[in-house]
């Protein structure tokens, strides 16, 4: 909410809108606006339709469905939500002109400038902690719509794309068609994306690589079979391992996401997950701490068992911060400490450092890897989590 505070400090006439998947679904939304005087409008659920209607109605929130807002008297008003849009193409093609593209950075980027593209909305997964469940059902923009966006950003000089979808390959046929069109139009873009491990095949991976894909990020979450079952991952450690190996054999880089602190987590399961990460030897890993997003099954689980801290703010919901909950046998500070140990034991291995040096191909690679290494060293070696 700091951005809203800054905007209001510049001018009280500036209208502020909170656009966020999780915020749009959290309980007690009235309280959110009351506690943040700088916030004017809070869309319920997805924000595109309310924003379009807000603009069509001359910035008059009273005529906009699906929002909470402050009326002329400062009271909180609610307009009933409208039916979720299924055809994402109805929103048009996103415009990137005017964005500070030269300033955008991503640890995985190979070229610059870069930008972000969302080809779909929602996810096929049912993970108990993930806010993507609020965006169901899974919907894709048409290949033609996304292709037009890619052509537009190429004209702006963009060379790198981060597909920010929950899982770009949730519809493999769509991805295959998109890659074929990217090749047919010779877009020559470098890109990375997220994917479920079990949605990949050697044929699809080879096509993705030809179309410019250099890195795929895969969610593993845990190496413990029971934790995967409890969190409704609907995927086994064996399938995830096979998918990671398949990506590596295709000559594509791989980042693996691990999520520590899910129900059933112990110090021992975390140690096993870290050991699994090192055995699989992906290019990159993250050891994020599970975020209890209000409205998710995981959040309700914490509330039911009285594990959730009473004193918490929006800043508490950060996968890199000490989590706002404590298990009886696994305190939040221990979770944070184990995550930092995971980062250190993975990235500071001499063999890993030598491998990254051997793979350097140009000055840009050198600068990118040096920048990433310094961030890891500063965050996970020099810093220590607060234990109070």
Enumerate residue ranges in the chain where pLDDT < 50: 387-388
The reported pLDDT for the residue numbered 388 is 38
Tokens 């895969």 belong to which residue? 218
| Six token digits for residue 249 | 């054999």
- The terminus-to-terminus CA distance of the chain in angstroms comes to 25
- Please report, for the chain, the start and end positions of each structural domain, with discontinuous segments joined by +: 2-78, 101-306
The reported pLDDT for the residue numbered 313 is 63
Global pTM value:
0.90
Cα 279 from chain centre: 25
Q: What share of the chain is helix, strand, coil (3-state, %, to 5)?
A: 45, 15, 40
The reported pLDDT for the residue numbered 377 is 73
| pLDDT tens digits for range 74-128 | 788 888 876 767 789 988 999 999 999 999 999 999 999 999 999 998 899 889 9
CATH superfamily of 101-306: Aldolase class I (3.20.20.70)
Measured CA to CA, the distance from residue 43 to residue 23 in angstroms comes to: 9
CA atoms within 13 A on the CB side of 151: 14
∠ CA 174-178-181 to the nearest 5 degrees? 140
């Amino acid at each position: 909410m700091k951005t809203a505070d800054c905007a209001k400090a510049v001018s009280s006439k500036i209208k502020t809108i909170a656009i966020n998947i999780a915020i749009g679904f959290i309980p007690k939304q009235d309280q959110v606006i009351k506690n943040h005087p700088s916030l004017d409008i809070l869309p319920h659920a997805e924000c595109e339709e309310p924003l379009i209607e807000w603009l069509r109605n001359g910035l008059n929130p009273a005529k906009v469905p699906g929002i909470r807002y402050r009326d002329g008297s400062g009271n909180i008003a609610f307009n009933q939500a409208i039916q979720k849009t299924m055809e994402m193409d109805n929103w048009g093609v996103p415009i990137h002109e005017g964005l500070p593209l030269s300033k955008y950075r991503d640890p995985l980027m190979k070229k610059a400038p870069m930008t972000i593209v969302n080809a779909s909305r929602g996810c096929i997964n049912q993970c108990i902690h993930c806010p993507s469940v609020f965006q169901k059902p899974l919907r894709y923009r048409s290949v033609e719509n996304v292709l037009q966006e890619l052509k537009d950003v190429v004209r702006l000089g963009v060379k790198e794309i981060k597909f920010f979808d929950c899982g770009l390959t949730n519809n493999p046929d769509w991805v295959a068609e998109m890659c074929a069109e990217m090749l047919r139009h010779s877009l020559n873009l470098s890109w990375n994306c997220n994917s479920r491990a079990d949605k990949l095949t050697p044929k699809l991976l080879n096509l993705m690589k030809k179309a410019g894909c250099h890195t795929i990020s895969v969610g593993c979450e845990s190496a413990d079979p029971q934790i995967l079952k409890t969190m409704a991952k609907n995927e086994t450690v064996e399938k995830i391992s096979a998918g990671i190996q398949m990506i590596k054999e295709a000559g594509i880089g791989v980042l693996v996401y691990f999520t520590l602190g899910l129900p059933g987590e112990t110090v021992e399961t975390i140690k096993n997950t870290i050991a699994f990460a090192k055995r699989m030897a992906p290019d990159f890993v993250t050891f994020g701490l599970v975020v209890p997003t209000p409205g998710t099954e995981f959040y309700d689980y914490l509330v039911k068992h009285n594990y959730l801290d009473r004193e918490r703010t929006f800043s508490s919901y950060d996968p890199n911060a000490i989590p706002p909950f404590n298990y009886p046998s696994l305190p939040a500070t221990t979770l944070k400490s184990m995550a930092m140990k995971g980062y250190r034991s993975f990235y500071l291995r001499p063999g890993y450092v030598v491998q990254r040096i051997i793979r350097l191909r140009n000055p840009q690679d050198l600068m990118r890897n040096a920048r990433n290494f310094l961030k890891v060293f500063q965050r996970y070696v020099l810093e220590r989590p607060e234990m109070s």
